[in-house]
């Protein structure tokens, strides 16, 4: 039977939003997120990172650098709470009109949020049921992705979340739940799972 998943954006949800992270040491977790992910692990909910990372397309740094960032991220999660991400999906692509300059990554992609490619690929690879899954993000495009893929969308107030809610960033959106942070989002998800909704 296909299983539900919790899809997590990276910057502003798991780690502090500091812009493009050129130094690996500048990736640091938001307080409480490791324990929140561990709670999902303990409930056997599939945890999947889905993140737009246009740094390679903008020629800011290499894809190997992105991989180093994710090694640090997974290390910090495990070190703090023995928390685990079951899968990581990254979209390094950006079309030239949007600012892509590296020919290896400058293209339009169905993986770039709010397109559904990363979620569809995850569902295919891991037998996931998108209709019973959740997407947690700090941008309106994360909520758009949830809508496009048939998931429930949760907007956290960390990262860009407060700016989205104030109308100062991206566009207006209507999440299924507005959470203070990932800890709050996970509590809502687990409540929904307990109630069978």
pLDDT, position 164: 92
pLDDT at residue 197 is higher than 80? no
In the structure encoding, which two tokens stand for residue 149, read together?
Answer: 């893929």
pLDDT at residue 196 is higher than 90? no
From residue 37, alpha-carbon distances to 10, 68, 167, 168 in Å are 12, 20, 29, 29
Per-residue pLDDT reduced to its tens digit, 104-152:
999 999 999 999 999 999 999 999 999 999 999 999 999 999 999 999 9
Catalytic residues, by residue number, are 9, 11
Per-residue pLDDT reduced to its tens digit, 22-38:
999 999 999 999 999 99
Per-residue pLDDT reduced to its tens digit, 82-91:
999 999 999 9
Per-residue pLDDT reduced to its tens digit, 42-94:
999 999 999 999 999 999 999 999 999 999 999 999 999 999 999 999 999 99
**Hey, what's the torsion of the CAs at 76, 145, 113, 65, to 10 degrees?**
10
pLDDT, position 170: 84
Is the entire prediction scored with pTM above 0.85? yes
Give yes or no for a contact between 187 and 33, defined as CB atoms under 8 angstroms apart. Answer: no
């Amino acid at each position: 039977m296909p299983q539900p998943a919790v899809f997590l954006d990276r910057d502003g949800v798991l780690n502090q939003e500091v812009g493009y992270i050129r130094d690996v040491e500048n990736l640091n977790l938001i307080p409480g997120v490791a324990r929140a992910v561990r709670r999902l692990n303990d409930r056997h909910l599939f945890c999947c990172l889905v993140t737009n990372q246009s740094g390679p397309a903008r020629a800011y740094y290499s894809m190997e650098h992105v991989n180093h960032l994710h090694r640090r991220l997974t290390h910090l999660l495990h070190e703090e709470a023995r928390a685990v991400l079951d899968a990581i999906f990254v979209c390094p692509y950006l079309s030239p009109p949007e600012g892509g300059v590296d020919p290896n990554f400058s293209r339009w992609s169905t993986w770039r949020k709010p397109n559904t490619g990363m979620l569809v690929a995850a569902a295919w690879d891991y037998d996931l049921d998108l209709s019973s899954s959740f997407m947690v993000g700090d941008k309106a495009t994360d909520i758009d992705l949830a809508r496009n893929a048939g998931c429930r969308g949760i907007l956290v107030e960390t990262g860009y979340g407060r700016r989205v809610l104030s109308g100062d960033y991206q566009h207006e959106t209507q999440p299924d739940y507005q959470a203070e942070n990932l800890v709050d989002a996970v509590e809502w998800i687990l409540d929904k799972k307990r109630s069978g909704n």
